Every structure is written in structure tokens, then in C-alpha cells.
């Protein structure tokens, strides 16, 4: 998918990209099979599992990796959970010992760009040396602003801190002692898709037939989450009802990212689809699936796992995935002993950010996806999080960097940088867009190999197109020029 974009880059940008590969690789790591995971064409694809050794079984006869123990696939009765997904250490030395650019030179470059009319009357900025945390430029850097989707950086860092990059989300099927009452138990995995649901049904049917059962009463359990399922913005194509059980993020079309019509009850739809799949394997269900908690003394008969959290974080950031962001936040809440609700998730994220030692003055978290206009975070907090993610002693946070969209190449920045822009291929940043709010936060490697973290936030913007162009110009100004 990415090759045409890369071929359109100017020769100068290509050469610079190669020269800077060492610094960018070690800063952004981890490396996986020789490539940075966020820079592969399928880095954020729902079915990708990363490089070698991410699955426990070899591909099946069809060559598609459909073996039951494989990452992101069920591991039927008695089988072990997939092993964590290891990543190799950086293979190129960082070029991070060069001095950071002087603050006065950045001020001379950025201040006029920050004054662009397209950014509206309220704009803040921060640029820091990611290695030292030293602020190199600031304008209202400590003032909390509505961050839109750049808040996903905070969500991702909190989830990785609470759960670890190898953690996987699990959807299970349990049966009562007589195996005639079966419950599909949601594990809060919005990346559960049709192929995995189909494989889960096949494993379930096999287990039931092994016990001589051909007719069951099917229920589904969504009790992992609590609180309202609807986001405060209400019915919206940007997010499904937040449920512990859903397939394909409740999408009613074939899309895998971006806005789409959503199911009003993704849990019920998933349970009905599961029942139909069981019928295809000779297991009949009495009536329609009903909501209900799993029976006491139930035993697991089948399960399926998501990709590791490192890959889920990358997908969240690359595609600005609202459904996955809210799910990661709820799992962060569960890991910290809080209710898996909007409120519990916000409290858990804030707690984890405090443990990371980032500034929390004025930070307010109303959701984890950035769709809520009540969210507040400062440019200083965002750049501090990016610097933590680049720290050599915090490798677990590295997916925060590898998941950032790449200018002119991937995710929500794929169409934001022309081939002739100095930022094409070199700016890595999370975008944020609401009506009247435009933000950008990420990293750039300078010509001498210094990693800079930046955050630019604008409010009351008159036009999203003018605002995005102005933000892109700010980030590109930090990139080396051919």
C-alpha cells in the first residue's frame, strides 16, 4: 500500500530518510523482523500480527496462518494462550548525542508560523528535546486545551503502563456443567472480527460435540464493562456503543477504520452471528441468544485472543481508532481496580499519567478517544508523554512512537504531506480534529539525529483545512531540508 507514496518522495527526502534511519529507528523502535512495526503497510490492519514469532502455530494448509494457537485466533479447549510477541532490540545505533537546536533559532522559525490565521485566536505549542526533556520552544505550553484525538497518546501510554505491551484481550465461551447452557463472554476486544468469530464457533462446536451435546441455550455476557454504553456525543458514526462484546467495532459496512454506520446493539448482533455459525457446525440453539451472566461453575471451552497490546496501541494511534481507545481505557481501569466505565477509565488514565511523572496541571479526561470537548490537556503534557515513550529505560512505551502516523505515508497523515514537503516521511504525529479544534503532536528527527517531540494545539479554528495546513507547516519546519 505504501510503495506509491514512497516513490513520489523527492530524492532529497529519500536520502535524508536513509541518513536519519539510525536515529529514528532507535528512538522509535522496537524493531520487529527488521522493520519498525508502524511503518509497514499493514501495521494497523486488523488481521496483522507483526513479524516473526507472533503466533504459536504455523500457517494452516491455506497458508493464511489460521492455526488455532496463532495470535489473534482461538486456542481451543486445553490449548495454551499464545506466547507474548517479542520484538528484537534496535539494530542501528541512535544518532542522539548531537546538540539540540538552539531555542532562539526555533523561536525565529516557529513563532511566525504559529501566528497563521488558519490556527484561529487560541493556539499553544511546545517543542522538547526528547532525550533530555528540555523545552526548546513554548507558547502557552502549560495551558490546557481541548486536545481532540491527540489525547489518545495519553490513553496509549496509560494502557501500556498498566497492562504491558504483551497483554492480549480475550473473548471466551463457557459452558455450565451439563454443557447445555453456553455463554459467549465479552472480554472487551473491539478487534474481534468475523474470521476469529467463525474459528471460535468451530472450536465451541467441536467441544460440545465431544460432550455429546447438539442443542444448547445460548446467552452472552457483557458484564465486564459498566456505566453508559453510549458516548456523551450520542449516536455517531465515529464510535459504536461501548460494549465488552462486539464484532468489527460494530461496523455495518466493510470498512476497518474511519466513520461508518454502527450497530445499535453490537453485543446482541455478535451473539446472533455466533449462534448462526454454531448452527453451521450442527449445534442448534433454543431461541434467540439472551443477555445474561455466565453460569456459576461454568468452565471454558473455547477462547480467542487479540493481537498484543503493542499492536493494538499502534492501530489506535495510526488510524485514530475511537472504539479501540475506549476499550484500552477500560482495560486500564480494570487493571487499576476501577469500574470499566467512562468515569473509571478517566480516573485510571490520570493515575497512570501521574505515575509517569508528566505534568497534570489542568488535565481533564472526560473520555479516552478525544471526541468529548470537555477533555483538556496541555502541549507540555503531550510532549512529556512523547519524551517518556522515547526514554531508553521505558521500552514498554515505545509503541506510542511506532504507532504515530507518518507524514505522507500512513494513517491519518497519509494525505497530509505532499511529496515535496520536508516533512514527508519524516514527521510522525497524532492528529486531532473536532469542529473548531485542530491539533498535532508527535516527533521529528533533526538533520544531526536529535529526536524532538512537539505538540501544537489550536482552538476556534475557522477552517479545518487551513488549520491542518498550518499545523503541518509547523511540524515540517522542524524537519531537515534537502
Distance CA 48, CA 72 (A): 9
Active site residue 297: no
Q: What is the largest CA-CA distance in the chain?
A: 77
Which of 13, 149, 243, 263 is catalytic? The answer is: 149
Rounded to 5°, the CA angle 388-389-390 comes to 90
Which of 13, 87, 152, 219 is catalytic? The answer is: 152
Query: Taking the chain, what is the end-to-end CA distance rounded to the nearest angstrom?
Result: 25
Burial 434-446 (b: 16+ CB within 10 A, else e): bebbbbbbbbbbb
| Cβ neighbour number for residue 65 with a 10 Å cutoff | 17
* Spatial CB neighbours of 18, under 8 Å, sequence gap ≥ 6: none
3-class secondary structure, 72: coil
Active site residue 152: yes
H or E element at residue 482: none
Cell numbers linked to 210: 465431544
| Cβ neighbour number for residue 167 with a 10 Å cutoff | 20
Which of 87, 320, 341, 378 is catalytic? The answer is: 320
Burial class (CB in 10 A: 0-12, 13-18, 19+), 466: middle
- According to DSSP, residue 55 is labeled S
Burial class (CB in 10 A: 0-12, 13-18, 19+), 297: exposed
| Cβ neighbour number for residue 296 with a 10 Å cutoff | 7
Q: Which residues are catalytic?
A: 149, 152, 320
Amino acid at each position: 500500500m505504501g510503495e506509491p507514496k514512497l516513490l513520489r518522495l523527492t530524492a532529497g527526502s529519500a536520502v535524508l530518510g536513509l541518513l536519519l534511519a539510525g536515529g529514528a529507528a532507535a528512538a522509535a523502535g522496537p524493531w520487529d523482523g527488521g522493520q519498525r512495526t508502524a511503518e509497514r503497510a499493514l501495521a494497523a490492519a486488523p488481521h496483522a500480527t507483526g513479524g516473526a514469532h507472533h503466533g504459536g502455530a504455523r500457517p494452516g494448509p491455506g497458508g493464511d496462518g489460521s492455526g488455532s494457537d496463532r495470535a489473534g485466533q482461538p486456542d481451543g479447549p486445553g490449548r495454551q494462550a499464545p506466547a507474548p510477541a517479542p520484538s528484537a532490540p534496535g539494530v542501528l545505533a541512535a544518532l542522539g548525542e548531537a546538540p539540540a537546536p538552539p531555542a532562539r533559532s526555533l523561536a525565529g522559525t516557529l513563532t511566525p508560523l504559529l501566528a497563521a490565521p488558519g490556527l484561529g485566536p487560541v493556539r499553544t505549542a511546545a517543542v522538547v528535546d526528547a532525550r533530555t526533556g528540555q523545552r526548546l520552544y513554548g507558547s502557552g505550553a502549560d495551558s490546557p486545551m481541548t486536545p481532540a484525538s491527540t489525547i489518545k497518546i495519553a490513553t496509549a501510554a496509560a494502557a501500556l503502563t498498566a497492562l504491558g505491551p504483551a497483554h492480549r484481550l480475550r473473548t471466551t465461551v463457557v459452558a455450565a456443567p451439563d454443557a447445555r447452557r453456553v455463554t459467549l463472554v465479552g472480554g472487551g476486544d473491539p478487534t474481534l472480527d468475523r474470521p476469529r468469530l467463525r474459528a471460535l464457533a468451530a472450536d465451541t462446536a467441536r467441544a460440545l460435540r465431544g460432550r455429546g451435546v447438539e442443542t444448547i441455550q445460548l446467552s452472552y455476557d457483557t458484564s465486564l464493562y459498566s456505566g453508559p454504553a453510549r458516548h456523551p456525543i450520542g449516536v455517531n458514526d465515529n464510535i459504536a456503543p461501548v460494549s465488552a462484546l462486539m464484532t468489527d467495532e460494530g461496523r455495518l459496512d466493510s470498512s476497518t477504520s474511519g466513520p461508518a454506520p454502527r450497530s445499535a446493539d453490537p453485543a446482541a448482533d455478535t451473539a446472533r452471528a455466533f449462534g448462526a455459525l454454531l448452527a453451521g457446525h450442527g449445534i442448534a440453539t433454543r431461541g434467540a441468544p439472551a443477555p445474561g451472566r455466565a453460569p456459576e461453575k461454568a468452565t471454558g471451552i473455547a477462547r480467542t485472543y487479540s493481537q498484543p497490546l503493542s499492536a493494538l496501541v499502534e492501530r489506535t494511534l495510526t488510524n485514530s481508532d475511537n472504539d479501540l481507545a475506549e476499550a484500552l481505557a477500560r482495560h486500564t481501569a480494570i487493571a487499576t481496580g476501577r469500574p470499566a466505565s467512562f468515569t473509571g477509565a478517566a480516573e485510571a488514565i490520570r493515575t497512570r499519567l501521574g505515575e509517569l511523572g508528566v505534568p497534570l496541571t489542568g488535565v481533564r479526561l472526560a473520555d479516552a478517544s478525544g471526541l468529548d470537548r470537555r477533555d483538556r490537556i496541555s502541549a507540555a503534557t503531550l510532549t512529556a508523554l512523547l519524551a517518556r515513550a522515547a526514554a531508553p529505560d521505558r521500552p514498554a512505551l515505545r509503541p506510542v512512537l511506532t504507532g504515530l502516523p507518518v507524514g505522507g505515508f500512513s494513517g491519518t497523515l497519509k494525505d497530509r504531506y505532499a511529496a515535496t514537503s520536508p516533512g514527508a516521511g519524516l514527521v510522525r504525529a497524532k492528529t486531532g480534529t473536532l469542529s473548531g479544534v485542530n491539533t498535532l503532536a508527535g516527533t521529528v528527527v533533526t538533520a544531526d539525529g536529535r529526536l524532538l517531540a512537539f505538540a501544537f494545539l489550536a482552538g476556534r479554528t475557522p477552517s479545518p483545512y487551513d488549520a491542518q495546513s498550518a499545523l503541518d507547516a509547523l511540524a515540517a519546519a522542524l524537519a531537515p531540508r534537502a
